[in-house]
């Protein structure tokens, strides 16, 4: 088979590197927010940590499982705000692991879903450092169960795609890697991550790809947290009046027929816009 350099990360660290004695890193999925959605394995890893490097979306209650005296470092990254660079996070992980400490890299949701977990595993393998991964409940799955919207459904959704709404450098998405037209078969659900600021662009791309403007959209903000908010709209609304959803991050947008199933406590787009109370809500939508 022809060598594809893009796949090198899969084998990185499996060749010549001698293991670094005692060093261990665990990439732990902290789930969507509700600490009851942590796995037992995640809790044990957090309890065993000497150092915890945690992301922005990790709920503070999750950090309470850590032992007293553990070194906690917030390495949050947020679109559009001053934040940690991935290269600096890499340096920090290596520095602590090489000091022989048990490092927990705590990430919102699941480490391998839009979480840069693949890069961190490759880094650690190539440095000869033992790495384990503990899965977490990813936001789309949490949003679906919280609202009782099934991501797949025998009659309404036979496939589901997890999609990033953020383009390179947190700019507008370029849906060049995905055939939105092919997914427009009335049997497909899109679960869009990082799509709050780019909701308008997503709506326009879907319309351009032939999706019906009445296709249901359900936006779920802060899934699984006490402040969870659900807003119902359509693809046409996304394209024409994304501000009316008055969304703040983090939110998942479910798009497709399942998103039209009844949901308790949902706001329609008019009500959502009316209740757009606080001026601190981010209202820059593309
Ligand atoms: C960088 S991605 C990380 C995804 C994470 N690894 C996961 O598996 O859920 C951040 C995005 O995840 C989504 N997200 C994370 N937590 C969420 C929550 N509690 N409710 C809704 N969306 C959430 C949002 O779309 C947010 O912009």
Q: What is the share, in percent, of the chain residues with pLDDT greater than 90? A: 74
Centre of ligand 1 to C-alpha 56, Å, is 10
Q: What is the CATH number of the domain that holds 156?
A: 3.30.950.10
Between the two ends of the chain, the Cα-to-Cα distance in Å is 43
Of 137, 156, 172, the residue at which a domain comes to its end is: 137
Q: Say if ligand 1 is within 6 A of residue 190 CB.
A: no
Helix (H, G, I), strand (E, B) or coil at 6: helix
Residue of 77, 130, 132, 243 with catalytic role: 77
The residue whose C-alpha atom lies closest to atom 5 belonging to ligand 1 is: 109
Dihedral over Cα of 187, 245, 280, 166: its sign: positive
Among 105, 162, 193, 247, say which to mutate for ligand 1: greatest number of ligand atoms within 8 Å of CB.
193
- Report whether 192 contacts 249 (CB < 8 A): no
**CA 12 – CA 14 distance, rounded (Å):** 6
Planar angle of CA 36, 37, 40, nearest 5 degrees: 85
| Block residue for tokens 């027929």 | 257
Residues 222, 256, single domain; the answer is yes
pLDDT tier, 154 (very low <50, low <70, confident <90, very high otherwise): very high
Mean pLDDT for the chain overall: 89
| Block residue for tokens 């109370």 | 277
Tally DSSP H helices, then E strands, for the chain: 8, 11
Helix (H, G, I), strand (E, B) or coil at 203: helix
**CA 230 – CA 126 distance, rounded (Å):** 43
Q: How many domains does the chain have?
A: 2
Of 103, 137, 171, the residue at which a domain comes to its end is: 137
Residue 163 confidence (pLDDT) above 60: yes
Q: Say if ligand 1 is within 6 A of residue 109 CB.
A: yes
Of 137, 160, 186, the residue at which a domain comes to its end is: 137
Q: Which is more confidently placed, 11 or 196? A: 196
Expressed as residue numbers, the domain containing 89 is 5-13+20-137
């Amino acid at each position: 088979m022809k060598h594809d350099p893009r796949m090198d990360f899969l084998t990185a660290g499996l060749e010549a590197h001698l293991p670094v004695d005692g060093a261990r890193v665990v990439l732990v999925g902290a789930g969507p927010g509700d600490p009851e959605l942590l796995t037992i394995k995640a809790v044990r890893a957090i309890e065993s940590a000497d150092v915890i490097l945690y992301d922005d979306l990790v709920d503070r209650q999750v950090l309470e499982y850590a032992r007293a005296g553990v070194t906690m470092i917030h390495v949050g990254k947020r679109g559009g705000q001053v934040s940690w660079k991935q290269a600096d996070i890499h340096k920090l992980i290596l520095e602590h692991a090489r000091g022989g400490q048990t490092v927990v890299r705590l990430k919102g949701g699941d480490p391998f879903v839009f979480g840069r977990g693949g890069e961190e595993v490759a880094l650690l393998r190539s440095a000869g450092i033992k790495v384990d991964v503990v899965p977490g409940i990813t936001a789309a799955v949490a949003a679906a169960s919280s609202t009782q919207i099934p991501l797949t459904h025998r009659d309404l959704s036979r496939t589901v795609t997890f999609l990033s709404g953020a383009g390179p450098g947190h700019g507008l998405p370029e849906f060049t890697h995905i055939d939105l037209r092919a997914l427009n078969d009335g049997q497909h659900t899109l679960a869009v991550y990082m799509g709050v600021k780019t909701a308008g662009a997503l709506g326009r791309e879907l319309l351009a790809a032939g999706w019906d403007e009445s296709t249901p959209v359900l936006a779920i903000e802060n899934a699984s947290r006490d402040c969870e908010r659900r807003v119902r709209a359509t693809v046409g609304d996304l394209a024409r009046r994304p501000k009316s959803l008055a969304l703040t991050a983090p939110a998942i947008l479910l798009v497709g027929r399942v998103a039209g199933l009844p949901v308790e406590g949902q706001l329609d787009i008019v009500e959502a816009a009316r209740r757009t109370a606080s001026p601190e809500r981010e209202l820059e939508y593309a």
